[in-house]
Amino acid sequence: MVRKNEAYLGDGLYASFDGNAFTLRAPRADGDHFVVLEPGVFVEFLRFASGQQEPWCLSPSDSALFLDAITNAPEPNEALRAAAGRYKRSVE
């Protein structure tokens, strides 16, 4: 079940951000399992997931802009919704 200020990511995984760290929660029969990622670790995870070999070196101001962009993302516009629909149909 989704808690307040939490998003369902799929495969039984939920995510939240408290302003300081990202928390991943995986409910299990024996209790919830948690992983907490500080913003720098989260950036390294994104680098890993994107296949980049070299570390991302962001200035403090770029880090703040990046964090703001992913935690306060604008609502998707019509072009993005259309692109998501095309992608979904292509992988079905």
Please check whether residues 49 and 62 belong to one and the same domain: no
Residue 35 has a pLDDT of: 94
Identity of the residue numbered 47: R
Tally the domains of the chain.
Answer: 2
Please check whether residues 2 and 47 belong to one and the same domain: yes
Please check whether residues 40 and 80 belong to one and the same domain: no
Residue 29 has a pLDDT of: 92
Domain span holding position 43 = 1-54
Please check whether residues 37 and 71 belong to one and the same domain: no
Please check whether residues 3 and 24 belong to one and the same domain: yes
Give 2-33 pLDDT, tens digit per residue: 777 899 989 999 999 888 889 999 999 999 99
Please check whether residues 3 and 38 belong to one and the same domain: yes
Tokens standing for 78? Answer: 């019509």
Give 34-67 pLDDT, tens digit per residue: 999 988 888 888 888 888 777 777 788 888 888 8
Give 75's pLDDT tier (boundaries 50, 70, 90): confident
Positive or negative, the CA dihedral 24, 43, 46, 74 is positive
